[in-house]
A and B are shown apart, each in its own frame.
Chain A
Amino acid sequence: AQKVTQAQTEISVVEKEDVTLDCVYETRDTTYYLFWYKQPPSGELVFLIRRNSFDEQNEISGRYSWNFQKSTSSFNFTITASQVVDSAVYFCALNSGTASKLTFGTGTRLQVTL
């Protein structure tokens, strides 16, 4: 079975603060893929990143960065210098070998205020 846990239900920060969203996953497969999606208030699901289990390199894209650690089964997402437009629900998801389908975490609602 595969499982994704996002323990932070809601986070509030002031603009320009850094914020880290946690994601812990469970799978018995050695091959798997991890994802982050953003769901802004408008409701669509926007793809942010895909990472496979064999690539533990951290990734940076502008103000976004991801820290993948297999030793702790975590795939955390950091937003640097947060902005109001970052306010959204962020979902971590897992697609592993045998299941071959996305399992989503419950999401973390990020509220960035001025």
Chain B
Amino acid sequence: DAGVIQSPRHEVTEMGQEVTLRCKPISGHNSLFWYRQTMMRGLELLIYFNNNVPIDDSGMPEDRFSAKMPNASFSTLKIQPSEPRDSAVYFCASSQTRWETQYFGPGTRLLVL
């Protein structure tokens, strides 16, 4: 299996620009999670989907962040407009069910200047 795939791996952008992060979960997994990792806050869950439906988005920082899962094999996390404080590593993870082991993608390292 290819594992969770994320793109891009690195993104450098300027404040105010729109950023779109992409994720392809492991085939057959029904739950998908977006996490953010920073030095200050550690690993924090932003949102998770079950069967393509957003279940808990309480971790989404503010309205500038949005996430979609149009089908079982693709999800996006969008930041518009981006700010320097959004700089972080964003991980996507998937699992067969929300109780099973979450497998993480390689992450997208985002730098907003």
Contact = CB atoms under 8 A, between A and B. Distances in A.
B104 A45 contact: yes
B104 A100 contact: no
A37 B104 CA distance: 10
A100 B98 contact: yes
Nearest to B45: A101
Interface residues of A, number: 18
Interface in A31-47: 33, 35, 37, 43-47
Nearest to A43: B107
A44 B106 contact: yes
Nearest to A46: B104
A101 B101 contact: no
B48 A101 contact: yes
Contacts of A91: 43
Interface stretch (A11-19, A66-74, A102-110): A102-110
Nearest to A107: B42
B98 A104 contact: no
Q: Considering residues B43, B91, B98, B99, which has the most beta carbons from chain A within 10 angstroms of its beta carbon?
A: B43
Contacts, number: 44
Interface residues of B, number: 21
23 contacts: A33-B99, A37-B104, A43-B106, A43-B107, A44-B104, A45-B93, A47-B101, A47-B102, A47-B104, A50-B100, A50-B101, A95-B98, A100-B98, A100-B99, A101-B48, A101-B56, A101-B98, A102-B45, A102-B102, A104-B42, A104-B43, A104-B44, A106-B42
Interface of B: 33, 42-45, 48, 55-56, 89, 91, 93, 98-104, 106-107, 109
Given A102-B33, A107-B42, 18 more contacts: A35-B102, A43-B89, A44-B104, A44-B107, A45-B93, A45-B104, A47-B102, A50-B100, A50-B101, A95-B98, A95-B99, A100-B55, A100-B56, A100-B98, A101-B45, A101-B48, A104-B43, A107-B43
Interface of A: 33, 35, 37, 43-47, 50, 91, 95, 100-104, 106-107
